[in-house]
Structure 1
Amino acid sequence: MSVPFNFATSIESALQSAATSLELDLSLFAPEVRTADPRHGDFQANGVLPYAKRTQQNPRALGEKMLAALPAELLAEFDVAIAGPGFLNFTLKPATLDRWLTTYATEDSLREGARASQAEAGQTFIVDYSSPNTAKQMHVGHLRSIVIGEAICRLLDFAGAKVIRDNHIGDWGTGFGKLIWAYKRHLDAAALEADPLEEFERLYKVGNKAADEDESVLEAARQELVKLQGGDEENLAIWKRINEVSLEAFQKIYDQFGVKFDYTLGESFYNDKVGQVYQELSDLGLAEESEGALVVFHPEHPRFHKQPFLVRKSDGAANYASTDLATLLYRTEHFGADASIYVIDSRQSDHCEQLFLTAKKWFEKTNRKLPRLEHTSFGTVLGENNKPLKTRSGENIKLRDLIDEATERAAQLVATKSGELPADEQAKIAEIVGVGSVQYADLSQNRSSDYVFSWDKMISLEGNTAAYLLYAVARIHSIFRKLAIDPSDAAALAAADTLETPTELALARKLAKFPDALRAAVTPLRPHMLCLFLFELAGEFSAFYSADKVAVDEPNVRARRLRLCARTLLLLETGLHLLGLRTLKRM
């Protein structure tokens, strides 16, 4: 008998089938299956009560009818009871848990189960994240987009979506005129060789200050930009050099976070594509001239009826709106995107809403299919003063400096706990724990919220932290290492019999909730739901390991407890990898 990957969806399907057999109005009935309080079972279906109220029936009586109409296949997997006014509580039978643990024993089997049960499977998702400006160093303000965006990509891929990672860098615009002007006059070749982005940032400040103080410099900078946009060889060569070294520097940070983009299509890529946007929006009557600029009005919108969407500036130059509309069209036509996900901070909410509203009207008038457009917004990283995290001097903290400090702090923790390990191994562990701590501290927060960045809480073996979870993984590896068994060795677990003790059953029930955690993270694009599951799983494992000795003499008991260890390890490692973290076998 096969066992479903996601029990909640199998209950939903069974309840829909029962509702059909009872001739309920399916337009009014929703199963409303959710994870239950462990005291009442594993899952609870709450849809009977609202349906009974709408149709003026006795909810308890209707619940009894639903229970009687449930398919035999479902009743073979669950003990089902009615509670209160028609709530149906489902408790997985130990034999069902045994079969689930046996069936989903590898990452591949988990992936196959996810792809068979997730609505995102088979769809093409473009995920737009990171998107720094070239000629500038990435700082802490770029952190959330990188780690949240990468986790979303991995989750969607695991769920069966075709994921295309696009780094929509800022590599065009008026700032390059000032930068090129300063590059030609004030370049420090030695500084460029030592730290290119530091030198580019210095040159931009020099050019910007000079342009502010001298109108002739401002005009010269404008001319440098005109030459660049006109294809001047010298200026194009400087511009390409700036972008090449910028991308090289960015990739060093991306490598530490395990990020590799499929495409890096910056604003410059769309420079020759914005003309079509202007033309179509104008021809369709969606855009109009206003004070020399091209704008789109949305008079029906309660907030934007007096706030036009500027798609071309009065001097004829493109802006974010122009290139974003051109990007959206390109992604739809070139990549066949079913969904385009924008991992951008919440301060850009108005821009994204106007962008999506304009695109909807544009695509409707041109009979194009509009992909799902979603602004996956996130809050701000705050210091312990509850203000945006900055250095003491008020400057943005460079991302590379943040990673270096995290690694240094993790090294102190590793030296305290594992000082007997060789120095090179300690350094490797420290780097994984340090970077992982930065990632996990961000991902474990609801992305919509601001959060306070705290080193003491972040790099700790206590609480919902990367170090705690990485240590749990390493501890399970040590169990198998001491017994000279490979966690993936099915033969070593073959003698496992049916789960028996309360802590065995509690751990197995938590393991079987992985699909629900996955769905809760993937569908609304909220990685923190997976973080919460992993933290709770590690806690459940700790309770099991404290109560039930693994290395017992009885072969069947030993095998079933080793199987629980192996499955916990599998889900912890799989989950952490989905979040973008690297794991350790020794810590």
Structure 2
Amino acid sequence: MNGLLTFLSQFIFLVRSGNMASFFRRRIAEKLSRTLQQSEDALIPALAAVPVMKKQQAADFKLSINTLRDNGILPSSGDIQLQAEDLASQLKRDSMVEDIFTGRGLVMFKVNPKLLAQKLLEPFGKGEDDKFGLNSELFNSLKKGTTLVEYSSPNIAKKFHAGHLRSTIIGNFIANLKQTLGNDVIRMNYLGDWGMQFGLLGAGFGQFGCVEKLKQNPLQHLFEVYVQVNKEAEHNEDIKQAARDFFRQLEQHESHAVSLWQQFRDITVEEYQHVYKRLGVQFDVYSGESFHQDGAQEVVQQLRSRGLLKIAENGTGVVDLSADGDMSSVSTLLRSDGTTLYITRDIAAAVDRKEKYSFDEMIYVTDKSQQNHFYQLFQILLAMGHSWADRCRHVSFGLVQGMKTRTGDVVFLEDVLDEARTRMLHNMSQSNTTKEMDDPEDTAEKVGISALIVQDFKGPLQSDYKFDWDRMLQAQGDTGVFLQYTHARLCSLKRRNEGLEAATFDPSLLPERTSVTILQHLLRYDEVLYQSAQDLQPKHLVNFLLKLCHLIASAHRELPVKGSPQDVAQARLRLFSGACSVLANGMKILGITPVDKM
């Protein structure tokens, strides 16, 4: 009788709690807390869901003795396996934790499978699908507040090059993740809309530009002018001088130069917004280097007044970043003619953003060639007395090799998106499983973009990777197409069984290994988000979702809904609906728009 009362009291607590995996983690931590005389909060980070393997899985959670030793909870000397066995022997099994055993310095916990199914799948019957995994104690240690993410940041007056794709989708992922975990996020596009390149373009447009062509195909024409003027400048000193003169006119706000520059900027932003809409990317702020011309001059004055700005032999203004003050490592902030550089404007931009947005952290997303630039930026900000520079972070990424369309070497992003859509549309037309759709082109676009994102996100961001059209668009294997196909298949299953879903279900009707394996995998969702939040790498979430899709594919074959007794069908449908929601939620964080049919 007492055992039944204990089970019921735990069950009632379970139903009231909305913490999914956190419920089990908290209850196991309670056990450990009483034995180790430590707070539950200190023990929770040492507990992790056991990753799903091919062979039968005996445990749901594992406790690392090494973590307890590192945190001073257990003595750091002695045999680690003996410590695990000693701790396990002191812990009691109950109606929630069915088994406790050890292995390789770990204490393993097997929870009641009925409670596992009930707890994990309960939110999906309450309309809380998008909250799954987000109410977790793991996130308590993450700093909340305002996060400013600067990403994409292409140069104006140039077509959106495919090289900017990585910054755009990685920054979008980081912003989505931070927002999902409760941060106030400011999404900023910091356009390269100033500098000597506009001197070249302004001088070039005077010689090679055509107003009519600018109206017909604005960015293509500006690109052609830029290529031509660069070629001329290689052997023509007059062109170089004209470029310097034009940029000086810009910095002095002369009306002709500013008017032409403004026209180029407006044209470019309008064109870029079209590409961003296709990618499902939005920005709260379109900023740019041009916003910080005056601020850059103020930065120069502040550095002078602090004695930080030195004049080098060639007449440039530099800041000494060397440890010994011997000018062995300097950052150039001022040209010899007095005009500012990119880093000068970046310093001014950072100070302005802190004043304007009071951010708690700022994240820059650019390729790894700019690592030294951001090291210098943060060091100069600290030298100026801005202690908040410690909360600025550069997320760098490698290069994409071999991203080409059929048409040539210069790869513009719109061409890549068009080709992804065309190839995907062709693949869908050849497939026997393709469903009738209202807008096949829109579906092909979304699936093609999913394929681009997943191919990009599967590995570490810092790694270069080789772009492969055929592998990227495969329906089988670890691709974005496979994610979309699995989601569409689950949506189809739900449509075919409309009216069958019930407010409650019997969790004991999900005893099969395939069911339990999906549930065990879902236990890791909050851990995957937590890991992603710490290192800002999308690979954790991508690989979690791909694994989920493989598990769902097995369950589709082994757990039919149609033709099963109604209560069994309802339980299985709840399992598939829950998996579908988690898949969709994870895809949205990655920046992928899930499709319902394909």
Aligned length: 573
The Cα of 1:298 is off from its aligned counterpart by 2.5
1:506 matches 2:524: no
Q: What's the counterpart of residue 99 of structure 1?
A: 119
Q: Could you tell me which of 423, 427, 431 is aligned with 1:409?
A: 423
Deviations 1:44-79 (A, max 9, x none): 221357469854345456445644776x9x966434
Deviation at 1:31, TM superposition (A): 5.7
Per the TM alignment, residue 555 of structure 1 is displaced from its structure 2 partner at its CA by: 2.3
Is contact 2:319-2:330 (8 Å) kept? yes
Distance 1:422 1:24 in 2: 59
Matched residues in 1 for 2:557 and 2:149: separation?
43
Which of 367, 385, 393 is matched with 1:374 structurally? 393
Q: What TM-score do you get using the length of structure 1 for normalisation?
A: 0.88
Between the aligned partners of 1:131 and 1:86, the Cα distance in structure 2 is 48
3-state DSSP class of the match of 1:271?
helix
Q: Within 2, Cα distance between the matches of 1:21 and 1:519?
A: 27
Aligned pairs for 1:154-553 within 5 A: 154-291=176-313, 292-300=315-323, 306-363=328-385, 368-383=387-402, 389-390=403-404, 395-417=409-431, 425-485=439-499, 490-491=502-503, 494=505, 497=508, 499-553=510-564
Q: Could you say if the C-alpha distance between residues 490 and 120 of structure 1 is closer, same or farther in structure 2, counting changes exceeding 3 Å? A: farther
1:88 aligns with 2:136: no
1:126 to partner: Cα distance: 0.9
Q: Does 1:560 align with 2:571?
A: yes
Higher relative contact order (CA 8 A, sep 6+): 2
AA at the equivalent of 1:443 = F
Task: Evaluate the alpha carbon distance shift between residue 392 and residue 502 of structure 1 in structure 2; reply closer, same or farther with a 3 A threshold.
Answer: closer
1:541 Cα deviation (Å)?
1.0
Residues 20 and 358 from structure 1, CA distance in 2 versus in 1: closer, same or farther, beyond 3 angstroms? farther
Letter in 2 for 1:56: S
Q: Is the 8 A contact 1:325 1:359 kept in 2?
A: yes
RMSD: 3.2
Confirm or deny: 8 A CA contact 1:340 1:372 kept in the other structure. Answer: yes
**Residue type at the aligned position of 1:501:** E
Letter in 2 for 1:285: G
Q: Is the 8 A contact 2:51 2:524 kept in 1?
A: no
User: What SS class does the counterpart of residue 460 from structure 1 fall into?
Assistant: coil
1: CA distance, partners of 2:78 / 2:437: 71
Letter in structure 1 aligned against 2:536: L
> Residue 42 of structure 1 aligns with which residue?
60
- Structure 1, gaps ≥5 residues long: 384-388
Separation of aligned partners in 1, 2:529 and 2:246: 51
- Change in CA separation of 1:56 and 1:511 when aligned onto 2, cut-off 3 Å: closer
Quote the offset at 1:111 in angstroms: 6.9
Give the 3 Å change call, closer, same or farther, for CA 393–404 of structure 1 in structure 2.
closer
**Whole-Å Cα distance in 1 between the matches of residues 319 and 31 of structure 2?**
48
- SS for the counterpart of 1:168 is strand
Question: Aligned partners of 1:160 and 1:114: how far apart in 2?
Answer: 12
Partner residue, 2:10: none
1:179 Cα offset (Å): 1.6
Structure 2: how far apart are the matches of 1:381 and 1:412? 25
1:416 is displaced (CA, Å) by 1.2
Structure 1 residues 396-405 or 173-182, which shifts more? Answer: 173-182
1:29–1:422 Cα change, 3 Å = closer
- In the superposition, relative to structure 1, how do residues 96 and 79 fare at CA in structure 2: closer, same or farther (>3 Å)? same
DSSP 3-state at the match of 1:343:
strand
1:91 maps to a residue whose letter is K
Partner of 1:386: none
One-letter identity of the residue aligned with 1:44: K
- The CA deviation at 1:32 is 3.7
In structure 1, what residue type is equivalent to 2:306?
Answer: L
* 2:187 aligned counterpart, secondary structure: strand
User: Compared with structure 1, are the counterparts of its residues 382 and 526 closer, same or farther at alpha carbon in structure 2 (3 Å cutoff)?
Assistant: same
**Residue identity in the other structure for 2:255:** E
Change (3 A) 1:564 1:211: same
> Aligned residue for 1:56?
77
| Structure 1, 467-476 or 225-234: larger mean CA deviation | 225-234
- Quick check: 1:550–1:561 contact (8 Å CA) kept in 2? yes
Q: 1:281 offset after TM fit, Å?
A: 2.6
Matched residue, 2:589: 578
Distance across 1 between alignment mates of 2:506 and 2:74: 51
Unpaired runs of 5+ residues, structure 2, are 1-12
Amino acid paired to 1:380: L
For the residues of structure 2 that align with 1:10 and 1:312, how far apart are their CA atoms?
59
Cα gap change, 1:392 to 1:316, in 2 (>3 Å): farther
Using the TM superposition, give the Cα deviation of residue 458 of structure 1 relative to its aligned residue in structure 2, in angstroms: 0.5
Q: Percent identity among equivalent residues?
A: 27
Question: For 1:29 and 1:65, how far apart are their aligned partners in 2?
Answer: 17
Cα distance change on mapping 1:476 and 1:394 into 2, 3 Å: closer
User: Is the Cα–Cα contact under 8 Å of residues 6 and 117 in structure 1 kept in the other structure?
Assistant: no
Shift of the 280–91 alpha-carbon distance from structure 1 to 2, 3 Å rule, reads farther
Contact kept? 1:35, 1:42, Cα under 8 Å: yes
SS at match of 2:439: helix
Q: 1:299 to 1:223 in 2, by over 3 A?
A: closer
Q: Is the 8 A contact 2:405 2:419 kept in 1?
A: no
Quickly say closer, same or farther: Cα 1:293–1:78, change in 2 above 3 A: farther
Distance 1:301 1:560 in 2: 69
3-state DSSP class of the match of 2:397? coil
Q: 1:6 to 1:305 in 2, by over 3 A?
A: farther
SS of residue matched to 1:462: coil
Equivalences for residues 128-167 of structure 1 within 5 A = 128-167=150-189
How much does 1:390 deviate? 5.0
**Is 1:80–1:88's contact at 8 Å kept on the other side of the alignment?**
no
Give the Cα–Cα distance (whole angstroms) in 1 for the partners of residues 524 and 587 of structure 2. 16
Deviation at 1:412, TM superposition (A): 0.7
Shift of residue 190, structure 1, vs aligned partner: 2.9
> Residue 474 of structure 1: CA displacement?
1.0
CA distance in 2, matches of 1:484, 1:393: 47
Moved more, 113-122 or 325-334: 113-122
Amino acid at match of 2:347: L
